[in-house]
Amino acid sequence: MELSIRARLRAGDQETYGELFDEHADAVYGYALRTLGDWAAAEDVVSLTFLEAWRLRASLDEEGGTVRPWLFGIATNVLRNTARAGRRHRTAMARLPAREAVPDFTEELVARLDDGARLDAVRRALERLRRGEREVFRLCVWVGLDYAATAAALGVPVGTVRSRLSRARGRLRVLAEQELQESQESRGGREPGGGSGQVREGRVVAARSMQGDIR
């Protein structure tokens, strides 16, 4: 009798593990990119998620359907750790003297930076939600898991997923608009600059998509 994908993963079958990566790596990357707003950090999350999946393969139940909830539960834990490390890094960087910004005034870059500002506003708004609400929103809306799969990924009841998602949707759009307005006011009408000046196209797509998700 042919072993299930769960049994093959538990047994350490490398070909099955490769299939798991091929099927889900892009979805994990999209989840991480929308959460972090940084394509390089998102790529690191993908690597760490699948390394953890290999390390934790024995924890996967042999019985059950798709392994997607299990995998995104691991990705969520990796993102929690990444967020903590990012906060420590930002705290350290805040102690350094600020670099002078050199703005690029081409129309294309200004448009991309505007989308980047919207992405940052949504990400900051998400951070103002409770962690459970953030994670449910990301898994249900961004990843597309249903209530049961999200509950399995996070280890909570389905009813908890429903209530957290309802609260998150109710607050997020208002908070995102507040964040964007505050950001624009703090710039005082100046041309956007700062950072490295490099904006990856995928970040623009993510910004537009995130605005639609909140509605």
Same domain? 76 vs 145: no
| pLDDT higher than threshold 80 for residue 44 | yes
Residue 138, pLDDT > 50, answer yes
Count structural domains, the chain: 2
Virtual torsion, Cα 199, 202, 207, 213, nearest 10 deg: -170
Buried b (16+ CB within 10 A) or exposed e, 121-137: bbbbbbeebeebbbbbb
pLDDT score at 101:
39
* Domain co-membership, 214 together with 126: yes
- pLDDT tens digit sequence for 172-208: 878 878 887 887 777 665 444 444 434 444 443 444 4
One domain for residues 70 and 162: no
Check whether residue 108 and residue 85 sit in a common domain. no
Query: CATH code at 11?
Result: 1.10.1740.10
Least confident interval from 80-84, 93-97, 118-122, 128-132:
93-97
Predicted confidence (pLDDT) at residue 54 exceeds the cutoff of 60: yes
Q: Do the beta carbons of residue 204 and residue 112 sit within 8 Å?
A: yes
pLDDT value for 178: 83
Please say which residue of 96, 131, 157 terminates a domain: 96
Q: What is the mean pLDDT of the chain?
A: 76
- Min mean pLDDT across 23-32, 125-134, 179-188 is at 179-188
